[in-house]
Amino acid sequence: MRSIDAEHYWLEARFERREGWDDGVYPFNLPVLRKTETITFHPRVTFLVGENGAGKSTLIEALAVAWGFNPEGGNKNFGFDTRASHSPLHRFVRPVRSTRRAREGFFLRAESYFNLATEIERLDSEWGGPPVAPSFGKRALHEQSHGESFMALMDNKLHGDGLYIFDEPEAALSPTRQLTFLARLNELVNQRSQFIIATHSPIILGYPNAWIYQVSDHGVDRIEYEDTDHYQVTRNFLLRREMMLDVLMKE
């Protein structure tokens, strides 16, 4: 059996309330931040879930930038800036790292994936190479569908021994492709990788033995898969579709 500690790159994130932290302004006025001191990460897969507006994307962005990733996505070598919209929260996040060093890493966020793909193609053009670098697949990312290009990146750019932070990867993926994503995620986990993922997908959340944190006004709390709204609402809808639609569509 492999040692869990040996695969841990990011142990926990500590939120430091020091000069510049203002509870009266965004993002520090988010209810979730009033009660969050630390987030401890699973050595393999940690999920953040929550309602729209709860602050999970703000948290995942701050974590990624605090680790050293570009706010719009990519690895630590990406420095492009299409529109600087990230919050200053990352300046108050102190990563507690293990002694093991990640060989690579990547930050992927659904809302800026188009900008990331554009930057990849721009860099390829500057380097004077083919329309797309071999490490990203045989076709340019913009010449593929959103889901195809996402999986091309997963298959060709991520090699393991890394820390990967994703914000809503399901936005690009059909249910079938989400299952493919889970299989690829598991391959990378078995290659000593660690993932931190914000998601709404009950399929992706089903990855076994992961930690799931509920982001809410009460802070960040561990929750079991079957207790998430994502699982319960989806299950109830599939089992009682007609009844739920009748209630929803009543005048």
What are the tens digits of pLDDT across the range 42-96?
A: 999 999 999 998 999 999 999 999 999 988 777 676 655 555 556 899 999 999 9
Cis peptide before 27 (omega within 30 of 0): yes
pLDDT (0 to 100) of residue 26: 92
Q: How confident is the model at residue 250 (pLDDT cuts 50, 70, 90)?
A: confident
Distance CA 164, CA 152 (A): 16
Distance CA 231, CA 182 (A): 17
Kind and range of the H or E element at 162?
Answer: strand 162-167
Distance CA 14, CA 12 (A): 7
Least confident piece of the model among 1-15, 212-226, 235-249: 1-15
Is 70 exceeded by the pLDDT of residue 32?
yes
Structure tokens at 112: 């800026």
Is 60 exceeded by the pLDDT of residue 174?
yes
pLDDT (0 to 100) of residue 220: 96
Per residue in 134-155, is it b (16+ CB within 10 Å) or e — as a string? Answer: eebbeebbeebebbbbbbbbbe
